Amino acid sequence: MLTGGAAGRKPVYRRPRNQEWLLAVLPAFPVALLVLRLWWAGRQDTQTLLLLVQHVSPLGMLSVVLLTTVWVVPVVVLAGRVLGLLYRVSTGRSSWLVRIADRLPDWVVVLAALVAMLGWQLRFLPALALLALSAAGLTVRDRHPARGTLVHAVCVVVPIMAAVLVYVAMSPAIAMAWAERDVPTFILLAVPPGIAPLLTGPVPRLSAGLIAHGAAIALAVLLPLVAGVVVLRVPILPLSAMEFTVPAAPEADRPAGREVVVGYVIVNDEQMTSVLERSGAVRFFGNDLLVSRVLCPEPGDVPRSRVHLHHWYVEQSMISWLAPDPLKVAPDPRCEGRPPAAP
């Protein structure tokens, strides 16, 4: 591509940028997360990894990974729009961040905000309000710079009113976080609404590049790491407890009995059942020894915070708070590795 210059200056040839590699990398990222999860589940053993790859359903694993990392998409969309517009409003120049922001349609940004509102934890919703207000204010300031009344309303009045509403709505949780000395939760709930009016306008021209590009590079480095850590904790197969008959072994002075194995069933054919224990070991049992099998609930994460808003805990998303509670059933001793009591 030839670009003209001043009179008497030789035209400069600029090679068009090839960005097709990004389209090839994006589908490979979930696949890499799947392989990493299976490798981690097998305790870094290559043979266990090959066994899991052979029998674990890729569609099921991909569904779990996508549901677990759905929060990443709103972060990328909202941060891309905000940082790109912040750089252009502050400097009046273009960059790769600005091009990303221009390629994000408004409906995609709105949809990302709605998905985040349903999927993000309560403690991150004030940060979501900050990103949404910043995106709206910077968009109006970028597209309609001459309409001072509109810019003032969207960039100043609306963020201040929204901050007041958020503080009123979140005041019980903020007070509880302060009383519990839960500093990270207090910062996440109390700080973002207050700084929202400051992020709807330009920043100093000299620091705009450092702020916008530095934040974008930090997100590009941290998001895959955080997503990888989250994926390493998701279940790969249903957790089951199986009760097997243990034959007597006179040479080892072991009488016949029963054993309960808690783990993930890899494959169950006509003759053999292979089980991946939670320790990472793989065991094989003959189906003629199987006495009973029960599906066990996956142990949930231990809550780290007791802060809640009308019984909506800060580590819960809106969709999990609105969803009906799971059915309460009596704990099965087999899920704890103990055989059931004799009738």
pTM score, whole prediction: 0.76
> Which is more confidently placed, 7 or 256?
256
Closest CA to 263 of 273, 254, 253: 273
Q: Tens digits of per-residue pLDDT, 185-206?
A: 999 999 998 888 888 888 888 8
Closest CA to 297 of 339, 325, 323: 325
pLDDT category, 5, cuts 50, 70, 90? Answer: very low
pLDDT of 12 reads 42
Q: Tens digits of per-residue pLDDT, 154-193?
A: 888 999 999 999 999 999 999 999 998 889 999 999 999 8
Q: Is the pLDDT at 333 greater than 50, yes or no? A: yes
Q: Tens digits of per-residue pLDDT, 234-278?
A: 777 888 888 888 776 666 566 667 788 888 888 877 788 888 887
| Residue range 209-236: mean pLDDT, rounded | 84
Cβ proximity of 200 and 82 under 8 Å: no
Least confident of 25-29, 70-74, 174-178, 239-243: 25-29
Q: What share of the chain is helix, strand, coil (3-state, %, to 5)?
A: 55, 15, 30
The DSSP symbol for 236 reads S
Beta strands in the chain (DSSP E): 2-3, 12-13, 239-246, 257-268, 272-277, 282-286, 290-295, 308-309, 312-313
Domain positions in the chain are 69-231, 239-297+311-336
Q: Is the pLDDT at 279 greater than 60, yes or no? A: yes
pLDDT of 2 reads 44
Average pLDDT value for the chain: 81
SS3 for 186-216 is: HHHHHHHHHHHHHHCCCCCHHHHHHHHHHHH
Please, which contacts does 246-253 make with residues 24 or more away whose CB atoms are closer than 8 Å?
246/289, 247/289
Cβ proximity of 291 and 247 under 8 Å: no
pLDDT category, 9, cuts 50, 70, 90? Answer: very low
Phi/psi region, residue 311 (left: phi>0; alpha: psi -120 to 50; beta: rest), is: left
Strand partners, 285: 273
pLDDT category, 224, cuts 50, 70, 90? Answer: confident
> Which is more confidently placed, 88 or 56?
88
The angle formed by the CA atoms of residues 90, 197 and 69, to the nearest 5 degrees, is 85
> Which is more confidently placed, 18 or 222?
222
Share of residues in the chain with pLDDT > 70 (%): 86
